[in-house]
Copies of this chain bind each other. A is one copy, B any other.
């Protein structure tokens, strides 16, 4: 019986978009199940002394990332627009994702948010954008309020603590048992690892 892959993603992360759009199909093809784990990179970057995305702080690396994303999205037939501002504030989206997870709808909600950001050029910190994603994921509108509950806030904070404990330093990251894989480039290797369990 194949295992499970934990998919740690941050809504503002460009390479998390790549993985979010393909992980379920790729994993299920190998009998692997996916556990969606939203978290915030901000506190992890801040602990490293970074005040913004490394793609903003290191200009050459940032220029390269935008071109790399353009090429990869073209190869995969994915739309790609550069978010403005970048990085976007993914706090509300991450809290909503945890609520959607309780309802078993985190995958479609997450894909809707990434598509809003990178395909439709929406700002994912805006309530009306998130409400549209919520709706698109087939979630009942009266559940949205749970994102503001203390319990949900605490759950997202705990995700951040788990991420640090797991040794995460970027997104997307994948955990298969005790193995950490970093980046969309390692998704297939991580799935193969889970499939071999």
Contacts and interface: CB of A to CB of B under 8 A. Distances in A.
Contacts of A180: 64, 67
Interface in A34-68: 48, 58, 60-61, 63-64, 67-68
Nearest to A168: B60
A167 interface: yes
A70 to B, nearest CB: 11
Contacts of A126: none
21 contacts: A48-B58, A58-B169, A60-B167, A60-B168, A60-B169, A61-B169, A61-B170, A63-B167, A64-B167, A64-B169, A64-B180, A64-B182, A67-B179, A67-B180, A68-B181, A68-B182, A68-B186, A71-B179, A71-B189, A183-B185, A185-B185
Interface of A: 48, 58, 60-61, 63-64, 67-68, 71, 167-170, 179-183, 185-186, 189
